[in-house]
Amino acid sequence: MTATVTSNAPAEASAPTQLTMAGALNAALRDAMAADDRVVVYGEDVGPLGGVFRVTEGLQAEFGDERIWDSPLAESGIVGTAVGMAMYGMRPVVEMQFDAFSYPAFEQMVSHVAKMRNRTKGRVTLPMVVRIPCAGAIGGVEHHSDSSESYWASTPGLTVVMPSNPADAYSMLREAIESDDPVVFMEPKSRYWSKAPLALPVTTAPMDRAEVVREGTDVTLIGYGPTVRTALEAADAAADEGLSIEVVDLRSLSPFDDATVGASVRKTSRAAVIHEAAQFGGYGAEVAARVTERNFHHLAAPVLRIAGFDIPFPSPKLEEYHLPTPDRVLAALDTWEWDA
Amino acid sequence: MSLNVEHVSTRTLPSEKPLRLLDNAGHAVTGAATGGFGLPDTETLLGLYRKMVVARRFDVQVTALTKQGRLATYPSAYGQEACEIGSVAALTAADWLFPTYRDTIALLTRGIEPADILQSFRGDWHNGYDQHAHRTAAQATPLATQALHAVGLSHAARLRRDPIVALTFLGDGATSEGDTHEAFNFAAVWQTPTVFVVQNNQFAISVPLERQTRAATLADKAVGYGMPGYHVDGNDIAAMYAVTRAAVDRAREGGGPTLIEGVTYRIEAHTNSDDPTRYRTARDVEHWKRRDPIERLEKYLVSEGALTEAMRTEIADAAEALAARTREVMTTEAELDPLELFDHVYGRERSALVEQRSALEAELAAGAFAGHQGAAR
């Protein structure tokens, strides 16, 4: 098989322009497809429509329907065929359209995508990316707002990442496509329209690293995807009351960046993790356990979880009551005994 | 050999009577029952006969080794040799095979060594052979999942303009799975060079075909997807080979996927831990034993004067030699390295696995598992 791999970076960086996260993801797909003809994109409605969130807009016109095409409506089929494509040396990037639509593909993800390298003793690797638009706060009806990250993150063999801003969205998607291992690339829908001035191509920190996105000395707030903004808003509000909050954007859920999180927690001695998914058995439980196991003697208080209720994701008119808010974050911090 | 299938309309239901080229007495079939397919030439049939005899001996040997506790489990293919070998023999070495757990003798036909084939059933590692070298995917245990991989791989090959076909096996039970539907549909919509061979061996563990489907034949399902379907006597290797060969050629020429149902019977239990006397009668088993795929072809070849006593002896000796080699490798303990557990999870290093590897290494150094070599044995 022949493949053309050209330089990953265009010769010249563009001037900074205001770019949404959806636009950054679109640019990342375009640049990845231009750089490597093994990259193919498919899923439901990704062709002429450009995806229901317009992340694939214009790509079929540019690359043709042998590089990007609409698949039949079947998530297990999309992921399962991507396994075969990746086995043949392609680098498929497939879309699940909405978080809860990925569940029919659960068996392919868990039994094959995650395990193929291991089953075959490293002889078959799957360089594929499964894009999953995720989480709520967009007024979606049922099955359109789930946070499925802990299912994937607790599956050995998968790499699970979630950007929170346009720069990371571009850089992390490029890196995910170049990865020789399968990557679950989760895109927080409520952040698709967030803008940042960006000169492409942009390279941010490696996708397996957490980042301190706001420095502080009293508390470490750990968020990812949509809840990084929640954490930053809580930190702003707390600053008015004289509380200095450090915010860590995990970026990668699996692997977990113990070093960055641990360094922050040892500095502040207090930590809380924020996510939209239900608390019970959720990703925050893993964060709290890891932080505690490795930093117990540096902690002045128990690690807190600020999460969605332990309920199925609610209807759009009720989701505001369910989602973690900056006020809830601050209220949770108030439960600590600060003088102890 | 007539392999022209231009006349096949994708809207024609497969014949209810299975297509066959040799009847149970080993006589060449003529007329409508052949579906327009011609009997493969004698040299091809002799080659298929040899493969079946060797595979049967291998299967019997492995079943015996399983009873001796040398394998953790083994799903026998006794009685299904015509389906397995007739299909696989129609592939070129460049084509890909996507097998299930029961298709061990198909792997043997692909030239994979017994020790490598049996590594997973022995419990040493999930899979023991080089997929790319043999163009054979790891055996799939979840039902029908590998059919989608076959569709994806063959579609990728087609996009690359590589003349490669992917063939995947399914059982009758697997046709009830959602992934079967998705694989059939994706293959038909994308017109991928994929051949689906359903080995209808009548039982999904204990559940008989009539509790699996209301369709008159499993091949009928092809019509709904817009691809040709063939209902074939799965104990007639001449028919299985000819029909698969036509489907493979058609796929390679851009004609899209084909569904082939081979009607056969699993003579042995589902696996060594199954008790088939609970769900089928000895009379049924005897009935199918009289329809043995090897005996049928043997009768034909002998009647044609193509199979001599000397050839039979030579083939039997080759089969015995393979059985002996299989006994030898399966009675030798493989060296297993527990630290390799961490080597094939991710391509890039992960600190958590590095830590866990070190912890196990320390336990091993301290003699924590001294005297143990695999809990299963």
Hey, is A86 helix, strand or coil? helix
Q: How many whole angstroms from its chain centre is CA B259?
A: 15
Nearest-Cα residue of chain B relative to residue A157? B345
Portion of chain A with pLDDT greater than 90, in percent: 94
**Confidence (pLDDT) at A4:** 42
Model pTM? 0.94
Helix (H) or strand (E) holding B84: helix B81-88
* Substitution target from B100, B337, B345, B354 for chain A, most A beta carbons within 10 A: B345
Q: What is the residue-wise DSSP string for B42-61?
A: HHHHHHHHHHHHHHHHHHHH
**pLDDT given at position B71:** 92
The pLDDT value recorded for residue B333 is 82
Look at residue A190 and tell me whether its pLDDT is greater than 80: yes
Q: How confident is the model at residue B5 (pLDDT cuts 50, 70, 90)?
A: very low
Helix axes B81-88, B293-303, angle to 10 degrees: 70
Average pLDDT over residues B193-206: 96
Whether B91 has a pLDDT exceeding 70, the answer reads yes
Measured between CA atoms, the residue of chain A closest to residue B161 is: A1
**Cβ atoms < 10 Å from Cβ of A173:** 28
Q: How many helices (H) and strands (E) does chain B have?
A: 13, 7
| Nearest-angstrom CA–CA distance, A109 and A86 | 13
**Between A289 and A15, whose confidence is greater?**
A289
Q: Of B5, B14, B11, which Cα lies nearest the Cα of B198? A: B14
8 A C-beta contact, residue B326 and residue B62: yes
Q: Is B270 a catalytic residue?
A: yes
Q: What is the model's pLDDT at position A69?
A: 98
CB contact under 8 A, B182 and A125: no
Q: Concatenate the DSSP letters of all residues of B267-322 into one string.
A: -S-SSTT--GGGTS-HHHHHHHHTT-HHHHHHHHHHHTT-S-HHHHHHHHHHHHHH
Predicted confidence band of residue B233 (pLDDT cuts 50, 70, 90): very high
In chain B, what percentage of residues exceed pLDDT 70?
Answer: 95
Instruction: Indicate if A322 belongs to the active site.
Output: no
Q: What is the pLDDT of residues A55-76, one digit of tens each?
A: 999 999 999 999 999 999 999 9
Strand partners, A91: A39
Tell me how far apart the alpha carbons of residues A149 and A25 are, in angstroms, rounded to a whole number.
19
In which residue are the tokens 């001695």 written?
Answer: A269
One-letter amino acid of A205 = A
Question: Which positions in chain A touch B143 (Cβ < 8 Å)?
Answer: none
Please give the mean pLDDT across all residues of chain B: 94
The pLDDT mean for chain A works out to 95
Lowest model confidence (mean pLDDT) among B133-137, B241-245, B334-338: B334-338
Looking at the predicted structure, is the pLDDT value of residue A212 above 80? yes
- The pLDDT tens digits of the residues spanning B98-109 come to 999 999 999 999
User: What is the band of A12 on the pLDDT scale with cuts at 50, 70, 90?
Assistant: low
Give the model's pLDDT for residue B375: 46
Give the residue-averaged pLDDT of B27-35.
94
**Closest to A333 (Cα-Cα) out of A250, A220, A228:** A220
Is pLDDT at A33 greater than 50 in this prediction?
yes
A89 close contact with B: CB closer than 8 A: yes
Residue entry with tokens 């030439």: B41
Read off the pLDDT band of B335 (50, 70, 90).
confident
Q: What percent of chain A has pLDDT over 70?
A: 96
Mean pLDDT of B179-195: 98
pLDDT of residue A2: 40
User: A317 CB near a chain B CB, below 8 Å?
Assistant: no
The confidence score (pLDDT) of residue B334 equals 82
Average of per-residue pLDDT across A215-234:
98
Residue B6 in this model has a pLDDT that exceeds 80:
no
Q: What is the mean pLDDT of residues B280-300?
A: 96
The answer to whether the Cβ–Cβ distance between B127 and A120 falls below 8 Å is yes
Residue B125 clears pLDDT 60, i.e. is over it: yes
Q: How far apart are CA B270 and CA B272, in angstroms?
A: 7
